[in-house]
Chain A
Amino acid sequence: MERERKGFPSALEVQRIRKSFGKGAASKEVLAGLSFSVADGEFVTIIGPSGSGKTTLFQVIGGLEPPSEGEVWLGGKATTGERGHISYMPQQASLLPWETVAGNIALSLVISGLDRKEAKAKTKVWLERIGLQEYANAYPHVLSGGMQQRVSFLRALLAPQPLMLLDEPFGALDALTRLQMQQWLMSIWEENRRSVLLVTHSIEEALFLSDRIVVLSASPAVVLEEFIVPFERPRDEAIWYDPRFNELKQRIYRLLQESAEGSG
């Protein structure tokens, strides 16, 4: 343990995290000693059956919920229970309706610690880069769901924090938009490597996007198995026809199914 801390810092270390809600006999354990890590510049996906405590895990990493036991290390620092060390992309785009698109991005960057000028300049450059400059001064409600998620992703990407948490970012989108968004996110991320922890229900999405997949069990959650995703980057749709893609998909699927049956 000690050696890991002194060595090259991982973007994220989650160490033996336990979390229970309630007291005494009514207490319910949600996370039962989770440990995993995200290396610098690595894209890690967490996948698990519904109710495997992924929301709670994110709340613990983000510092909103203190864990009952265990530690969270971000960028080589113990940050258990502290806020403001991550950037975040939630399932719903969560853009403030009274701020413009540019205003929303800049506000998040200022909260993340950038000064106002820098935040504005960065926002402008990147809105142009992703082709949304004409919406810079529009209010979010005129944007489609996909465009809102692009803004939401950009907001997380530009923040200076060492780790991006993506919480089922495409869960609310239709199938086609979802595929487009995955490819779009992939292309941007491959040019701007950040450490990412993604939560998703979709095995294909996990395989397409990530370097490593951590499979969780149903409640209370433990790490069932970790898979290295072997595909080279940059990736494209060709990997869907790779036999290894299907083999991994089957293995993860079976693992999830057994876990769901086991918890009954």
Chain B
Amino acid sequence: MGNKKGAWSKIGPPAVLLTVLLAGWQTAAWLELFDQWLIPSPVSIVDEAIRIWPRLMEHTEATVQLTLIGFVGGSAVGFVLAALLHLIPGVRTAVYPLLVLSQNIPVIAIAPILTMLLGYGLLPKALLVTMVCFFPITVAMLDGLMNTDAQLRNYLQMIGIRRLKLFWKLELPHAVVHLFSGLKIAASYSVLSAVVAEWLGTNKGLGAFMLISSKGFMPDRVFAAVFIIVALSLTQFGLVTLAERLIIRWRPKKEVR
């Protein structure tokens, strides 16, 4: 019972606020405070979404597929990279600045190159999402691997633990908490970067759908796609949070909240 109450106190306030904002938006549209062809009203967005629902779902499916491939790929790359940078001495100092550098290259600049190299298929887009997703995971996990408890480390070394076992038994379990912060950030990034990837040379996916609708002056369709993107992002985030709760069960209760 207490648990339900806790969940409501978390979800309640933002839900109320969101409802108020939507109601305000709808009222403003009724009062014709702005032009419908520029900013559609929530009701007309939902109307349009229902009307073209099957097509919308087709595009959603493509985006979900791209998001998942990119997210899983990015997580795997991020995880392995962090482990390697941490375990091989000296490599971290050399590679870490380059990783930060890689994040300063705009996706818009890389995307056409990838498309030209790899064609219009799934691969270049999945690579793009992967490139966006791996970074927060690597950074978060490296932090976790490096900041293990000094006393635990000293104890294990005193009784003669081997390097690799220290990684599996102390560093990695400690880093898992950090890993999940990275995964949460990557989860929200993955949906958005999939949409951006779809802007570039494809006719499938919510990104492509948005671009076509925007060019055809159909803002209600653009917003319908935006609503779905938001929902996808939240779902992805929620799934990672759920996985975190299932995997990290050893923490004292008060820290979980």
Which residues of A are at the interface with B, using a C-beta cutoff of 8 A? 58-59, 62-64, 83-88, 90, 92, 94, 96-99, 107-108, 111-112, 139, 141, 159, 161, 165
CB-CB under 8 A from A141, the residues of chain B are 250-252
Interface of B is mostly: helix
Is B159 a contact partner of A86 (Cβ separation < 8 A)? yes
Q: List 8 A-B contacts (CB under 8 A).
A: A62-B158, A64-B158, A83-B160, A88-B158, A90-B151, A98-B173, A111-B165, A141-B250
- Contact residues in A for B157 (Cβ distance below 8 Å): 62, 64, 83
Instruction: Tell me the smallest distance from the CB of A67 to a CB of chain B, in Å.
Output: 16
Find the B residue at minimum CB distance from A165. B158
Closest-by-CB residue of A relative to B149 is A94
Across the two chains, which residue of chain A brings its CB closest to B153?
A: A94
Contact of B169 with A by CB under 8 A: yes
Whether B226 is near chain A, meaning CB under 8 Å from some CB there, is no
Q: Smallest Cβ distance from A141 to chain B, in angstroms?
A: 5
* B169 near A96: Cβ-Cβ < 8 Å: yes
- Cα(A88)–Cα(B153), bound, Å: 13
Do A94 and B169 have beta carbons less than 8 Å apart?
no
Residues 145-159 of chain B, each 1 if its beta carbon lies under 8 Å from chain A, else 0: 000000110111111
Q: State which of A87, A111, A165 has its C-beta within 8 Å of the C-beta of B161.
A: A111
Q: A107-B169, A141-B252 are in contact. Are A94 and B151 (CB under 8 A)?
A: yes
CB 8 Å contact bits of B135-179 with A (1 = contact, 0 = none):
000000000000000011011111111000100011001100000
Query: For B159, B170, B250, which residue has the most chain A Cβ atoms within 10 angstroms?
Result: B159
Give the distance in Å from the alpha carbon of A96 to the alpha carbon of B248 in the complex.
Answer: 13
Which partner residue on chain B sits nearest A55 by CB separation? B154
Q: Which residue from A63, A98, A112 sits with its C-beta under 8 Å from B250?
A: A98
By a CB distance below 8 angstroms, the chain B residues around A90 are 151, 154-155, 158
**Which residues of B in the span 230-253 have a Cβ within 8 Å of any Cβ on A?**
248, 250-252
Question: Interface range on chain B: under 10, 10 to 19, 20 to 34, or 35 or more?
Answer: 10 to 19
Closest residue on chain B to residue A107 by CB atoms? B169
**B158 partner residues in chain A, CB cutoff 8 A:** 58-59, 62, 64, 83, 86, 88, 90, 165
Asked if B160 and A92 sit within 8 Å, CB to CB, the answer is no
Q: Is the interface of A mostly helix, strand, loop or mixed?
A: loop
Across the interface, name the chain B residue whose C-beta is closest to A61.
B158
Interface centre among B155, B156, B157, B248 (most CB of A within 10 A): B155
Picked from A59, A92, A97, A111, the residue with its CB within 8 Å of the CB of B159 is A111
CB distance from B252 to the nearest CB of A (A): 5
Is the Cβ of B160 less than 8 Å from the Cβ of A111? yes
When the two chains form their complex, are residues A96 and B160 in contact, meaning their CB atoms are under 8 A apart? no
- A139: chain B residues at CB < 8 Å are 250
Q: In the bound complex, what is the Cα–Cα distance between A88 and B161 (angstroms)?
A: 12
Q: What are the residues of chain A within 8 A of B155 when measuring CB–CB?
A: 88, 90, 94
A92 touches B151 (CB 8 A): yes
Chain B residues near A97: list those with CB within 8 A.
Answer: 250-251
A111 & B156 in contact (Cβ 8 Å cutoff)? yes
- Cα separation A161 to B160 with both chains bound (whole Å): 11
> Closest approach, in angstroms, between the C-beta of B163 and any C-beta of chain A?
11
Residue ID in chain A nearest B161 by CB atoms: A111
Q: A92-B151, A94-B151 are in contact. Are A84 and B250 (CB under 8 A)?
A: no
Note all chain B residues with C-beta closer than 8 A to A108.
159
Q: Are A85 and B160 in contact (CB under 8 A)?
A: yes
What's the least CB distance linking A262 to chain B, in Å?
31
Contacts of B159 in A (CB 8 A): 84, 86-88, 108, 111-112, 159, 161
In whole angstroms, how far apart are the Cα atoms of A88 and B152 in the complex?
12
- Point out the residues of chain B lying under 8 angstroms from A84, CB to CB: 159-160
Q: Please, how many angstroms separate the alpha-carbon atoms of A64 and B166 in the complex?
A: 15
Contacts of A87 in B (CB 8 A): 159
- What is the chain B residue whose CB lies nearest that of A89? B155
In the complex, the answer to whether B170 meets A112 with C-beta atoms within 8 Å is no
- Report the Cα distance A97→B252, complex, angstroms: 9
Assembly CA distance A59 to B158 (angstroms): 8
6 nearest A-B residue pairs (beta carbon):
A84-B160, A94-B155, A83-B160, A88-B158, A62-B158, A98-B250
CB distance from B247 to the nearest CB of A (A): 10
Minimum distance in angstroms from A58 CB to a CB of chain B: 8
**Looking across the interface, which residue of chain B has its beta carbon closest to that of A91?**
B151
For B161, the chain A residues whose CB sits under 8 A away are 111
Q: Considering only CB atoms, which chain A residue lies closest to B160 in the complex? A: A84
In the assembled complex, how far is the CB of residue B257 from the closest CB belonging to chain A, in whole angstroms?
15
Q: A88-B159, A161-B159 are in contact. List 14 more A-B contacts (CB 8 A).
A: A64-B157, A83-B157, A84-B159, A85-B160, A88-B158, A90-B155, A94-B152, A94-B154, A96-B152, A96-B169, A96-B170, A96-B173, A112-B159, A141-B251
A159 CA / B159 CA spacing, docked (Å): 9
